[in-house]
A and B are shown apart, each in its own frame.
Chain A
Amino acid sequence: MKTRTKFSVMWLLALGVFILTPLGAYAKEAIQSWELVNPAGVVEVKYFKPAPRLTSLDGKTIVLRWNEKHNGDLFLNRIAELLQKEVPTAKVIKLYEVDKSTIKISGSAKESNRIADVIKDLKADIVIATQAD
Chain B
Amino acid sequence: MVDQSEVEKRGIPTVTLASNQFLSLAKSTVKSTGIPEMAFVEFEHPMGMIPAGEVRAKANKAFPEIIRMATKWQPTTAVAAAAKPPYPAERIRFKGTYASLNKMFYEKGWSLGLPIIPPTPEAVKAMLKGTKHKPGEVVWVVPPRQGQLTVELVATIGVMAGCKPEHMPLLLTIVKVLKEPDFDWRGNSTTTAPTAPLLVINGPVVKELGISASTGALGGQMPVNISLGYFVNLVGDIVGGSVPPDSDKSTLGSREDLVAMVVAENESRNPWKQSYAVEHGFKATDSVVTGFGAYMGTNNTDHNSVKGKDLLNTFAVGLAGASCGITSCYTRLDQPSTWQNGVKFAFLLVGPEHADTMYRDFPTKLDVQNYLVKKAVLPYSGYSPGQCIVPKDFGPYDENTMFPRFTQPEQIKIVVTGGSGKQSQIWIPFLTDNRPVSAVMEK
Answer yes or no: are A and B bound together in one complex: yes
B297 CB, nearest partner CB in chain A, Å: 21
Inter-chain CA distance A103–B75, complex, in Å, is 28
- In the complex, the answer to whether B339 meets A107 with C-beta atoms within 8 Å is no
Q: Choose, from A2-10, A14-22, A37-45, the stretch at the interface.
A: A37-45
**Inter-chain contacts of A52 with B (CB < 8 A):** 11, 13
Inter-chain CA distance A50–B410, complex, in Å, is 44
**Inter-chain contacts of A105 with B (CB < 8 A):** 187, 339, 431-432
A interface, how many residues as a size bin?
35 or more
Residue of B nearest to A86 (CB): B67
**Inter-chain contacts of A65 with B (CB < 8 A):** 3-4
Inter-chain CA distance A103–B3, complex, in Å, is 12
A42 CB, nearest partner CB in chain B, Å: 5
Asked whether B79 is an interface residue with its Cβ less than 8 Å from the other chain, the reply is yes
**Inter-chain contacts of A53 with B (CB < 8 A):** 13, 39, 71, 73-74
B82 CB, nearest partner CB in chain A, Å: 9
**Inter-chain contacts of B11 with A (CB < 8 A):** 51-52
Asked whether B45 is an interface residue with its Cβ less than 8 Å from the other chain, the reply is yes
B152 CB, nearest partner CB in chain A, Å: 7
Asked whether A26 is an interface residue with its Cβ less than 8 Å from the other chain, the reply is no
Contact string against B for A residues 101-133, beta-carbon threshold 8 Å, 1 for contact and 0 otherwise: 001111111101101110110001111111111
Inter-chain CA distance A49–B432, complex, in Å, is 29
B interface, how many residues as a size bin?
35 or more
Asked whether A12 is an interface residue with its Cβ less than 8 Å from the other chain, the reply is no
Contact (A126, B12) CB under 8 Å given A36-B120, A112-B3: yes
CB contacts under 8 Å to B, within A61-99, are: 65, 67-72, 74-76, 78-79, 82, 86
Asked whether B36 is an interface residue with its Cβ less than 8 Å from the other chain, the reply is yes
- In the complex, the answer to whether A41 meets B89 with C-beta atoms within 8 Å is yes
**Inter-chain contacts of B142 with A (CB < 8 A):** 41
- In the complex, the answer to whether B121 meets A34 with C-beta atoms within 8 Å is no
Asked whether B145 is an interface residue with its Cβ less than 8 Å from the other chain, the reply is yes
Asked whether B370 is an interface residue with its Cβ less than 8 Å from the other chain, the reply is no
Inter-chain CA distance A128–B62, complex, in Å, is 12
Contact string against A for B residues 11-28, beta-carbon threshold 8 Å, 1 for contact and 0 otherwise: 111111111011001100
CB<8 Å pairs between A and B, sample of 17: A32-B98, A39-B156, A42-B148, A45-B80, A51-B13, A82-B59, A104-B338, A104-B339, A108-B184, A112-B3, A117-B10, A125-B12, A128-B14, A128-B66, A129-B16, A132-B48, A133-B22
Chain B interfacial positions (CB closer than 8 Å to A): 1-19, 21-22, 25-26, 31-39, 45-50, 52, 55-56, 58-60, 62-63, 66-67, 70-75, 79-80, 83-86, 89-99, 101, 108-110, 118-121, 124, 138, 141-142, 145-150, 152-153, 156-157, 160, 181-182, 184, 187, 192, 234, 238-239, 249, 336-339, 431-432, 434
Q: Please provide the 6 A-B residue pairs with the shortest distance between their CB atoms, ordered closest to farther.
A: A70-B48, A107-B432, A116-B6, A78-B59, A41-B147, A38-B90
Chain A interfacial positions (CB closer than 8 Å to B): 29-57, 65, 67-72, 74-76, 78-79, 82, 86, 103-110, 112-113, 115-117, 119-120, 124-133
